[in-house]
Structure 1
Amino acid sequence: MGGVESHLYELSQRLIQRGHKVIIVTHAYGNRTGVRYLTNGLKVYHVPTQVIYAEATLPSFYGFFPLFRHILIRESIQIVHGHGAFSALCHEGIYHSKTMGLKAVFTDHSLFGFADASSILTNKLLKFTLSDIDHVICVSHTSKENTVLRAALSPRHVSVIPNAVVASQFLPDPSVPDPNWITIVVISRLVYRKGVDLLVAIIPRICESYKQVRFIIGGDGPKRIDLEQMREKHLLHDRVELLGPIKHHEVRDVLVQGNIFLNTSLTEAFCIAIVEAACAGLFVVSTKIGGVPEVLPSHMINYASPEEDDLVIAVSKAIHMFRFGQIDPSQFNDQLKEMYNWSNVAERTEKVYAAVCQTKTPPLIERLRRYYGCGVYAGKVFCMIIALDYLIWKFLEYLFPEETIEKAVVFPYQKYRAYFNGDSSSYKMRHPNHNVIVEEDETDLID
C-alpha cells in the first residue's frame, strides 16, 4: 500500500466521520474481488477489470461503463472523485460520471515531464479527462503548477490540499535504535523513479567513510537486484539489511530502528514517506525535487541535489549532527501532528465538494465544445468518444432503467457513531480484534 492508497483510505475514514457516505471503486487484487467492507463501514468495490502492468488496468473506454453506472445508481452517488493520472479506472470514471450528469473531482498525486513519450501521452490523456472536470486538487504547489501546465487548466479551478499523517501511528521510541550504530533507514518502492541507482552508488561510499553506519532498506521492486549485487560486491551483508516488502502497519516498527531517513527520489509531488519518518523521530535527508521542499520545516531535513556527490555530503552532515548531539527529533511528532492532520484535509476537501455542487451541469453541446479545444486532431477524436459515451448511456437507460436497479442498504453509521468520534472503550472491550477486515458477502453482512 503506497501513498495514494493511504490517502484514499484515511480521507474516506474522515469523510465518514463527518457524516458522508463514501465508497471506493478499484480493480480486483488476486482473490480480493466483489464487495468488501473495511473499518467504519467503508465499502470497496473490487471490479473484474484486467490488470496489465504495475496494478494499472487495461483502458477500455466503454467496457467499464455498464457496471460503473450500476454502482453509482445503486449507491446513490452524487460526486465522483478520481485519484491518479495513471489510473485508467479514474479517467473512465470521471468522463462516465460527467455523461451521467454527476459532479467530478480529480486529485493529482504525481509530477510529469513534457518531453518523453510517456509524459506526452499521459498529458494528452489528462487534458482530455480534465476538459470537463468540476475541480482539481493537487497535493503541493509544485504539483499544482505542473498539472495546470500539463492539462491547460485555469489555476482558479485547482486547489492545493496536502497529504497528511496519523501521527499517533508513528510515535517515536528512543529506546529501540542500537546506540552502537547510526542507522539509516530507506523505505521505498525499488524502482528507477525512486532513485535506487543513486542509493546503490552512495551506500558503499558512506559505509567506507563511517564504520559505525548501517542501512536498513525496506521495499521491493525491479531495482532490488541492483542493491543485492552492490551488497555482494562490497561485502556489506552485515551493514546493509534488505527487508523486502513491508506492509503499511509495519512501517513504524522499521522506522523507529533508525536515526536518519534517506529519500533519493527523482520525482515527488509530495512524499508522505518523509513526513511519516519525521513523525517517528528520524532526521530526514532527501533530494530537493518536486514538492519535497514544501513538506518539512528546515530543522527536520537536509536537502541534496539528485546527484551522487551531493547526496554523500548531505548524509555526512546528518551523521555529524548526530555525533555531536545537534539534533533532537523527539519533538518532531508533536510539531507535525498539528501541521498534517487528516481531519483538516477532509474539511478542506468537503469545501471543494460543496463548491462543485453549486455549479451547473453543462449541456452535451458545451461538453463537446470543451473537448474540441484539446487539439486539431485529438479534439475531433475526443468529441467522437464522448458522443458515443452519451449514446451508450442512453441505451443503458433504456435497457436497464434507473428505477429497476435496487438501491444498496446504507451501512448503519449511526450505530457506531460513538466509536467513530473516539469513544471506543466499550467497543474495544467487546471487540478486542477490532481492526479485522470483514470479508463476508455483502448481503450476509447486512443480514
Structure 2
Amino acid sequence: MNELRRRHRVLMVSDFFYPNFGGVENHIFYLSQCLMQRGHKVVVATHAYGRRSGVRYMTNGLKVYYIPWLPFYLQTSFPTLFGTFPIIRTIILRERITLVHGHQAFSTLCHEAIMHARTMGYKTVFTDHSLYGFADIGSIHMNKVLEFTLADVQHAICVSHTSKENTHLRSRLPPEKIFVIPNAVDTAMFQPDPSSRSQDEIVIVIISRLVYRKGADLLVEVIPEVCSLFPQVRFIIGGDGPKRVRLEEMREKYHLQDRVEMLGAVAHADVRSVLVRGHIFLNSSLTEAFCIAILEAACCGLLTVSTKVGGVPEVLPSEYIVLAEPVPARMVAAVAQAIELVPNIDPFAMHNKMRTLYSWPDVAQRTERVYHHAMNTENEDLLERLTRYNACGAWAGKLFCLVVIIDYIFWQFLQWWQPAEEIDIAPDFQRHQEQAADGTGEVVNGSLDK
C-alpha cells in the first residue's frame, strides 16, 4: 500500500484528557482532530472524570472511552499492572485498532496500555510532554517505569530537542527511535487586538499555575522590583495554585493593589481576552519541555520574557523573546530590555509568523510519518521482547520480565475466557465528504473502510 494512502486506526491513551484541562489534553484533542481529517480513525481512552464515565462522542465524532477507573493522585489512575488489561483489550478489538499511542510519562493508564498492547502484538508509540530530573526519589522511580515502558515501544516522540535528550538519558531509548515534533496552537483562537491595550501603560501579563515549578516564588521577587523601576508598568496575573497566597502577600506588603491585578483561575476560552490586554508576556517557569503558553501569547502579539530553561529557547524566534537565567536580577534586566523593544513589535507580523511556524495539520502529518515507521518495524515474539526487558538492570530487568510473562499468561486466559470473535465490532462514525489532507485533493465519502 502506498505510504501516503495508508490509514491507521489509533488508540490515544492517557490519564489526562478533557474535561481536565492542560497542555497534554489540548495536544491529544487537536492531534486527534487533525489525524481524523487526514482519514485516520482515532479513539481516546482515559479514566472517568466525576460523573463522566462510559463512551462519549466529541467534535467530528471523536470517540472517547472514559474507563470507570478513579484517579488517586494528580489525576493519574491507581496502578494495577493487569487490572486494565480486559477493558484495554476489549477497546482494541471493538475498534479494530492498529496502533496504540500513549501520552505523558506520569500517566499510569498510558504505561499499562502500552504494555498490554505490546503483549497482544500491536505497534506502539509514546509521546513525552515533560522534563524530569534524575536525583529526587520521585524522578528515580518514574525514570525506571519509563525505561520499562520504552524498552518495548516502536518509537517515541518529544516536543523539543531538550526533551528528546532528557527522555534518552532517562529511559536509555536509542536516539534514532525518538522523533522531535513540537506542539502547536490554534492560531484562529489567538488573534491580536491592539485596541484592547492601554496606550498609557506597559501591561505585563502572567498566566500560569501558581506553583513552585512555574516559578511563582521568582515572581514574588521580580514584580516589586519592576514596579519600583518602571512606574508605567502594570501586571495582570491569571492563574491559581498554592503559591497564590505568596503573591497576594507581596502585593499587600509593597502596596501594589492598583498595579498588580489578580484574576484567579482563567478558563481557556478566556485566555485570549486576557492576553490581548498586555504588551509583554512573562514566563517564570523553572522547568519546561516546550511551554505552549508563550506560543499562545506570541500569537496574540505579545513580546515574551522567559526563563532560559528546558525547551523554551527552541520555541520562538530570537526577535520575539528575551531570555534570562531564573535569577531575580536577571529577570528584571530582561523585563527592562523588553520594555524598550515593545514599540518595535508588530503584533500582526508576529501572529502571521506563528501561524507559519506552528500548525496542528503539520504536527499531524509528521506524527503520521512516525506511525508509518512504527508499522514497518518487524514483529517480535515474546523471547525477543524479554531480552530487551532483561537488559534494563540486574534486578529490575528480571522483575520486568516477570511482569511481562504474567501479562502474556493473562492475555492467553482472556483469549480463552472471551474469544476475540465474540467481541462485537463497533461501527465507525460516518464522516461525509471528507477532504483528503495528503495533498491529493481526493474526496473520501463515508467511513474509513472505503
Using the size of structure 2 for normalisation, the TM-score is 0.90
What one-letter code is carried by the residue in structure 2 that aligns with 1:210? F
Aligned-pair distance for 1:175?
0.2
Check whether the contact 2:95–2:426 (CA below 8 A) recurs between aligned residues: yes
2:183 to 150, 153, 163: 163
2:264 to 244, 247, 271: 244
1:197 to 217, 220, 235: 217
Identity across matched positions, percent: 56
| More deviation, 52-61/166-175 | 52-61
Aligned-pair distance for 1:44?
1.1
Check whether the contact 1:300–1:329 (CA below 8 A) recurs between aligned residues: no
Q: Is structure 2 residue 142 aligned with structure 1 residue 137?
A: no
Aligned-pair distance for 1:321?
2.5
Partner SS, residue 80 of structure 1: strand
Aligned-pair distance for 1:259?
0.6
Aligned-pair distance for 1:414?
2.2
Aligned-pair distance for 1:385?
0.7
| More deviation, 109-118/11-20 | 109-118
2:138 to 111, 114, 118: 118
Structure 2 counterpart of 1:33: 53
Task: Measure the CA separation in 1 of the matches of 2:325 and 2:307.
Answer: 5
1:394 to 405, 412, 415: 412
Aligned-pair distance for 1:113?
1.5
Task: Measure the CA separation in 2 of the matches of 1:66 and 1:221.
Answer: 37
Check whether the contact 1:79–1:102 (CA below 8 A) recurs between aligned residues: yes
What aligned pairs does 1:22-421 form with structure 2 within 5 A after superposition?
Answer: 22-322=42-342, 325-414=343-432, 417=434
| More deviation, 117-126/215-224 | 215-224
Distance 1:420 1:147, change over 3 A: closer
Task: Measure the CA separation in 2 of the matches of 1:330 and 1:314.
Answer: 23
Aligned-pair distance for 1:419?
12
| More deviation, 289-298/30-39 | 30-39
Partner SS, residue 382 of structure 1: helix
The superposition leaves residues 409-431 of structure 1 with CA deviations (integer Å, 9 ceiling, x where unpaired) of 2111126x36999xxxxxxxxxx
The superposition leaves residues 159-180 of structure 1 with CA deviations (integer Å, 9 ceiling, x where unpaired) of 1111111212111001001212
Runs (4+) off by over 3 Å: 418-421
Task: Measure the CA separation in 1 of the matches of 2:63 and 2:24.
Answer: 17
Task: Measure the CA separation in 2 of the matches of 1:48 and 1:200.
Answer: 41
Using the size of structure 1 for normalisation, the TM-score is 0.91
What one-letter code is carried by the residue in structure 1 that aligns with 2:300? A
Aligned-pair distance for 1:235?
2.2
Task: Measure the CA separation in 1 of the matches of 2:270 and 2:190.
Answer: 10
Partner SS, residue 246 of structure 2: helix
| More deviation, 96-105/112-121 | 112-121
- Give unpaired runs (5+ residues) of structure 1: 422-447
What one-letter code is carried by the residue in structure 1 that aligns with 2:144? K
Task: Measure the CA separation in 1 of the matches of 2:223 and 2:324.
Answer: 15
Task: Measure the CA separation in 1 of the matches of 2:23 and 2:268.
Answer: 10
- Give unpaired runs (5+ residues) of structure 2: 1-20, 439-450
Task: Measure the CA separation in 2 of the matches of 1:33 and 1:246.
Answer: 26
What one-letter code is carried by the residue in structure 2 that aligns with 1:374? C
Task: Measure the CA separation in 2 of the matches of 1:419 and 1:243.
Answer: 43
What one-letter code is carried by the residue in structure 2 that aligns with 1:256? V
Partner SS, residue 175 of structure 1: helix
Check whether the contact 1:83–1:108 (CA below 8 A) recurs between aligned residues: yes
The superposition leaves residues 363-389 of structure 1 with CA deviations (integer Å, 9 ceiling, x where unpaired) of 001111111111111111111111111
What one-letter code is carried by the residue in structure 2 that aligns with 1:115? A
Partner SS, residue 185 of structure 1: strand
Count of residues paired in the alignment = 418
Check whether the contact 2:38–2:437 (CA below 8 A) recurs between aligned residues: no
Task: Measure the CA separation in 1 of the matches of 2:94 and 2:255.
Answer: 59
Task: Measure the CA separation in 2 of the matches of 1:107 and 1:268.
Answer: 15
Check whether the contact 1:28–1:48 (CA below 8 A) recurs between aligned residues: yes
Partner SS, residue 323 of structure 2: strand
Aligned-pair distance for 1:187?
1.0
Task: Measure the CA separation in 1 of the matches of 2:190 and 2:38.
Answer: 24
The superposition leaves residues 92-146 of structure 1 with CA deviations (integer Å, 9 ceiling, x where unpaired) of 1111100011110001111112111111111111000000010011111111111
Task: Measure the CA separation in 2 of the matches of 1:420 and 1:208.
Answer: 53
Check whether the contact 2:194–2:347 (CA below 8 A) recurs between aligned residues: no
